[in-house]
C-alpha cells in the first residue's frame, strides 16, 4: 500500500481549499465534508467532537471512520493528502463489522509485518552468528534497513487542551521533537503492550493551538487494557467495549454504537455540517444533508454498512432513505 509520508509532509502537498481551517494543512479533511460550510472543526465536529464530551472520548468513533469516508466523500480525489491517506486505507478495507473475522489487506500487512519482525529478529540472531556485525549500531542500522515499510497511518484532529488524549490504551513516550515552523513539539508514543507495535504521534496544530493532531500507526494486537472512559449510561456499562476484531490501524473495534446513538441523537448532524449551531436541537430536517453524503452509489453500501454514520445517525433515520 502506498502510504503517504506523514501528516507533516502532507502540509507541503495538500490542497487547501479554504474551508474550515483555511490555511490548515489538514483542511482537506473538510473538503469531503463540503467543509467550506462547516463551522470549524470539520471532520471531528461531524463526529460530535464539537461537543464537550468528545474531548477524551471521540476515539470511540475512530474504528469506523475509514468505512465512513467513501460515503462522505464521493469526490474524494480533490481532497488533501491527509484525506487521501485515509482513503488509501479505507479503500482497501473490508467494512468492519463486529462479527466479521476478516482482516483487511492493510491489517494483514500489519500483522504480517509484525510476524516478519519477529522472524527478522530471529534471522538477526542467526545472522549475527555468521556475519557478525561489529557494533551494536551497525546491527541496528542493518535491522532498520530491513524493514522500512510504514504501517498505515491515520490522523485525527481533536479540539482539546490536553495533548495526550485517553484512548483506552497505555502509551509510553519515547521521543519528542521540535516541529519545523511550529512552536509546538511533536511527541512520539508507543503502545506499552509487549509485541504491540502501535505508535502514535501527538502534536498541536500550528494554525490552531487548541487542536491536537494525533496520528496512529500500526494495529493493536491486543484488546484495550483500559476501559476507554467511564460509561455514561447504565445500559452501556453492561456492554463489552471491545471486541476481538481489529480492522483499523491502532484502534480497537469498539462496540459503543447503541450507547453513542443515544448520546448523539440530539446532535444535529446536518446543521452542523452546514455551519449551523451544534447545539441546535435535532429536528427531522437535521439529517437532510446526509443525503448529500449518501450518493446513489454509496447509498446502497450504506444499507449494509453505514460506517460511522450508523453510530451517529439513529438507525430509523438511515432507513428513511
- Sites of contact with DNA (CB under 7 A): 5-6, 8, 136-137, 140-142, 144-145, 148, 164, 170-180, 186-190, 192, 199, 201
Q: How far is the CB of 25 from DNA (least distance, A)?
A: 11
Q: How far is the CB of 85 from DNA (least distance, A)?
A: 12
Q: Give the Cα-Cα-Cα angle 314, 319, 320 (nearest 5 degrees).
A: 100
Q: How far is the CB of 181 from DNA (least distance, A)?
A: 8
Dist CA 121 CA 124 (whole Å): 5
Q: How far is the CB of 122 from DNA (least distance, A)?
A: 17
Dist CA 170 CA 123 (whole Å): 30
- Torsion 92-95-225-60 (CA) sign: positive
Own/partner contacts of 89-95, CB < 8 Å, gap of 24 or more, are 89/1, 89/152, 89/154, 89/249, 90/65, 90/66, 92/1, 93/66, 93/67, 93/247, 94/247, 95/67, 95/301, 95/304, 95/305, 95/307
Identity of the residue, 119 or 177, whose beta carbon is nearer to DNA in the bound complex: 177
Identity of the residue, 45 or 167, whose beta carbon is nearer to DNA in the bound complex: 167
Q: How far is the CB of 222 from DNA (least distance, A)?
A: 14
| Backbone dihedral region for residue 74 (phi beyond 0: left; psi -120 to 50: alpha; all else: beta) | alpha
Q: How far is the CB of 231 from DNA (least distance, A)?
A: 23
Identity of the residue, 178 or 297, whose beta carbon is nearer to DNA in the bound complex: 178
Q: 267, 247, 250, 302: which is closest to 90 by C-alpha?
A: 247
Q: Where are the alpha helices (DSSP H) in 131-220?
A: 136-146
Identity of the residue, 173 or 291, whose beta carbon is nearer to DNA in the bound complex: 173
End-to-end CA distance of the chain: 34
Identity of the residue, 61 or 189, whose beta carbon is nearer to DNA in the bound complex: 189
Q: How far is the CB of 304 from DNA (least distance, A)?
A: 36
Identity of the residue, 174 or 320, whose beta carbon is nearer to DNA in the bound complex: 174
- The full DSSP string for 275-306 is T--TTS---GGGGTTHHHHS-HHHHHHHHH--
Any bridge partners for residue 181, and if so which?
none
Identity of the residue, 175 or 275, whose beta carbon is nearer to DNA in the bound complex: 175
Q: How far is the CB of 216 from DNA (least distance, A)?
A: 12
Q: Which helix (H) or strand (E) holds 84?
A: helix 81-91
Identity of the residue, 186 or 253, whose beta carbon is nearer to DNA in the bound complex: 186
Q: 215, 219, 216: which is closest to 247 by C-alpha?
A: 219
Amino acid at each position: 500500500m502506498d502510504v503517504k509520508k506523514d501528516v507533516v509532509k502532507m502540509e507541503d502537498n495538500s490542497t487547501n481549499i479554504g474551508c474550515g481551517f483555511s490555511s490548515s494543512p489538514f483542511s482537506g479533511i473538510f473538503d469531503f465534508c463540503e467543509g467550506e460550510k462547516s463551522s470549524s472543526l470539520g471532520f471531528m465536529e461531524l463526529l460530535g467532537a464539537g461537543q464537550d464530551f468528545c474531548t477524551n472520548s471521540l476515539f470511540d468513533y475512530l474504528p469506523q471512520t475509514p468505512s465512513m469516508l467513501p460515503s462522505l466523500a464521493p469526490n474524494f480525489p480533490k481532497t488533501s493528502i491527509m484525506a487521501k491517506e485515509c482513503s488509501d486505507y479505507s479503500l482497501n478495507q473490508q467494512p468492519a463489522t463486529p462479527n466479521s473475522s476478516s482482516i483487511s489487506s492493510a491489517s494483514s500487512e500489519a500483522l504480517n509485518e509484525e510476524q516478519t519482525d519477529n522472524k527478522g529478529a530471529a534471522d538477526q540472531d542467526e545472522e549475527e552468528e555468521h556475519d557478525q556485525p561489529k557494533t551494536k549500531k551497525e546491527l541496528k542500522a542493518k535491522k532498520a534497513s530491513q524493514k522500512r515499510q510504514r504501517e498505515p497511518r491515520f490522523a485525527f484532529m481533536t479540539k482539546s487542551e490536553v495533548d495526550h488524549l485517553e484512548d483506552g490504551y497505555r502509551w509510553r513516550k519515547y521521543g519528542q521533537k521540535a516541529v519545523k515552523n511550529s512552536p509546538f513539539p511533536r511527541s512520539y508514543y508507543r503502545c506499552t503492550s509487549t509485541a504491540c507495535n502501535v505508535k502514535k504521534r501527538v502534536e498541536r496544530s500550528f494554525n490552531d493551538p487548541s487542536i491536537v493532531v494525533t496520528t496512529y500507526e500500526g494495529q493493536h494486537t491486543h484488546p484495550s487494557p483500559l476501559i476507554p472512559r467511564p460509561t455514561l449510561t447504565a445500559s452501556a456499562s453492561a456492554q463489552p467495549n471491545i471486541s476481538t476484531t481489529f480492522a483499523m490501524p491502532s484502534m480497537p473495534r469498539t462496540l459503543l454504537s447503541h450507547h453513542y446513538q443515544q448520546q448523539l441523537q440530539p446532535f444535529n448532524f446536518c446543521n452542523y455540517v452546514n455551519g449551523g449551531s451544534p447545539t441546535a436541537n435535532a429536528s427531522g430536517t437535521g439529517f437532510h444533508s446526509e443525503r448529500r453524503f449518501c450518493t446513489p452509489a454509496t447509498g446502497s453500501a450504506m444499507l449494509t454498512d453505514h460506517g460511522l454514520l450508523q453510530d451517529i445517525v439513529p438507525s430509523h433515520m438511515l432507513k428513511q432513505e
